[in-house]
Amino acid sequence: MDKTELSNNKDIFFERELSWIDFNFRVLEEACDPTNPVLERLKFLCITESNLDEFFMVRVAGLRDQVNSGIDEKSLNGMRSSEVILEISKKVNTFIQKQYEVLVDKIIPDLKANNINIINNHSELKTTEIAYIKKYYKEEVSSILTPLAIDPSHPFPHLLNRSLNLAITLTSDEDNARNLFAIVQVPSLLPRFLELPTTDKERRFFPLEGIITLHLSDLFYGLTVKEIHAFRIMRDSDLSIHEELEGSLLTNVKKELKNRFWGEAVRLDIHSKTPENLKQSVMELLKIQDHEIYQIPSFLNLGDMMYFYGLSGTSHLKFPVIPSINKLSEYSLDKIFQLIRKGDIVFHHPYDSFQAVEDLLKFASEDPKVLAIKMTLYRTSGDSPIIQYLKQAAENGKQVTVLVELKARFDEERNIIWAQRLEDSGVHVVYGVIGLKIHCKVLLILRRETDKLKRYVHLSTGNYNSSTAKYYTDLSLFTNNINITEDIGTLFNALTSSAKMPKLSTISAAPLYLRDDILGLINQEIENAKAGKPAYIFLKMNSLVDRDLILALYEASSVGIKVDLVIRGICCLVPGIPGISENIVVRSIVGRFLEHSRIYIFHNSGKPKVYLSSADCMPRNFFKRIEVMFPLLDEKIQNKIFKIIEIILKDNVKARILGRDGIYRKLSPSEGEIPVDSQMELAKI
């Protein structure tokens, strides 16, 4: 099959959005796995809910906008957007059913067996508990509530995105035949669950909506409450930033953030026992179609159940702590730059502590020899020491430049707040690049040493975020390699000056060069294989979507090259097609930590080329973002990466293999085979 014929074959691609749902199913499998502690299973379940919420607010909302605009585009496998939306609805309905089977049949009973009892029926309450709830309601809840009648003089309220609400049917004492309708929003500022007083070891919890339900008659004097049913709305929350408009990017992002709470409704979750007439009324008021409504059998807003993960005295119901090691802690801070000069250093987070990065920045902020610091920030934690050290560096007279990505999805507001604090401290803040997202993770330190200026660089596959660094697997590099550091200096100059990015000598950067460089590396392996030389490709990333890159991997497979792909999430490549992809194996590892590192390795006739990157192989990374792929040049470091990969490929506990049929099949040790959970094994090296 030639390239043109191959590229037009829709059967060689999986659909992007449906592949993402398959990933969320793999996360849900971890919530089902009885070998995981019960609160970890609950956490996985909450993650699936959070994932699904963002998927609807962004991806499904985008598809919906396309269809409503008359643009019914085809995806890689030929499905139109309208068809994808309907298929999403089918798969998500199945997914929700599975979520609640796990919650109701497995997790809640297991929590109860461990003396955490979640009560969902007021008939289970004791007399003393009812009195305690009534007191709590009067003191903490009642004054916050606002009953909203729905009638010709009271239109349907514009309810907040993802808010939990109660739809209430009432009758008048004067006219019992006519139904009235009202809504009460469950306050999000109050804890979703109330812990009830107890004298024994059992801990009992009652939901906030249950507390409100018990006292609704207090809100509707002269009316009789007939039915109460919970629902929530999901709204389009993808920011549409018009960067060509007048005003700064900062101003436009601030304006658009206000619209996030009030976008069009794209999904309605409603309790499955809600009567059909009430359901139809809510749907009509929200302009929701049948395939956009999801019937929920139990607690809505599953993500709120993360409350229980934070309970005190529950460490025995979680994974045991794996301590992160700060490999720089044995050195005094004034030896850090000397250590980097001796050779490149690679850290594997979370096994290696992120504090090493913070320590480097702390010392740089205080070191009189440091003249300048330049950094990109996509996401960081709210209380990040990094922000403090950057402020401190500026206050100490160093030239500090920070490129802040204002369009980091759902972190926009936080980024604006701390970016303005940096600016107030004298940091030169560059608010993004027009038309692109700054997604690369780069730190450059300029230091005067023996009358010469030396550059030191830190590059990473993950964000400068000490919180996520505890549960994301990422790799980062400290180096003062002259070619790499000069490239990074050039990169910063291009970004801050809005100049065209030149071709760099060792670093590959998007949006101009990255995809072509990766394709060139794949094509070189193909040429080597055709010449009878050994060839091999290993790629690890979060998502694989780019058509041209997938076609190149098919060509590599067709000439006999073994290709190992470790793709955590979306994979549009179909493995195992005879003559096309039979030499490609696709693995997905979903475990305790979120697999986030991007590793690209090419055999190169026995002289391996090893790269780390901030980018996945997706069109948005290649053409709509500032990304970097950087080489690991030190042989010892390359060998460390090879060891990591060897362990990953041996995983037979948390790894799933993607079949040609689109099904991921979880591996398990065969008889006599040693179980290998790669994430736990990597903690040992």
Catalytic residues: 439
Q: CA-CA distance, 489 to 468, in Å (whole number)?
A: 27
Structure tokens at 215: 């006292």
Cis peptide before 350 (omega within 30 of 0): yes
Angle in degrees, CA 320, 326, 329, rounded to 5: 135
Cα–Cα distances (Å) from 372 to 136, 426, 489, in that order, read: 55, 13, 11
State the DSSP code for 670: P
Structure tokens at 244: 């060509």
Contact indicator for 560, 533 with CB cutoff of 8 Å: no
User: How many C-beta atoms lie closer than 10 Å to residue 151's C-beta?
Assistant: 9
Q: CA-CA distance, 621 to 684, in Å (whole number)?
A: 33
Q: CA-CA distance, 458 to 480, in Å (whole number)?
A: 9
Q: Provide the 3-class DSSP secondary structure of residue 236.
A: coil
List, in order, residues 6 or more apart from 231 with CB less than 8 Å away: 165, 166, 167, 268, 269, 270, 271, 274, 282, 300
Contact indicator for 600, 539 with CB cutoff of 8 Å: yes
Q: CA-CA distance, 48 to 52, in Å (whole number)?
A: 6
Contact indicator for 623, 448 with CB cutoff of 8 Å: no
For residue 611, the cross-strand partners are 600, 631
- The H-or-E segment that residue 230 falls in is strand 223-235
Cα–Cα distances (Å) from 675 to 26, 193, 629, in that order, read: 19, 39, 33
Q: CA-CA distance, 600 to 361, in Å (whole number)?
A: 28
Chain position carrying tokens 């067996």 = 113
φ/ψ (deg, to 5) at 349: -85, 145
- The H-or-E segment that residue 447 falls in is strand 441-449
Tell me, what amino acid is at 510?
A: A
Q: CA-CA distance, 524 to 321, in Å (whole number)?
A: 44
- CA 602 vs. chain centroid, Å, equals 28
Q: CA-CA distance, 81 to 84, in Å (whole number)?
A: 5
Q: CA-CA distance, 63 to 16, in Å (whole number)?
A: 12
Q: CA-CA distance, 227 to 390, in Å (whole number)?
A: 56
Sign of CA dihedral 181, 186, 187, 190: positive
Strands 399-404 and 452-460: unpaired
The closest alpha carbon to 490, from 512, 475, 516, belongs to 512
Query: Please, how many CA atoms are within 13 Å of residue 505, restricted to the half-sphere of its CB?
Result: 10
Q: CA-CA distance, 220 to 90, in Å (whole number)?
A: 39
Burial grade of 378 (CB within 10 A; 0-12, 13-18, 19 or more): buried
Tell me, what amino acid is at 270?
A: I
Q: Return the axis-axis angle of helices 514-530 and 547-558, rounded to nearest 10°.
A: 10
Q: CA-CA distance, 561 to 581, in Å (whole number)?
A: 10
Cα–Cα distances (Å) from 640 to 218, 348, 483, 576, 652, in that order, read: 66, 10, 22, 30, 21
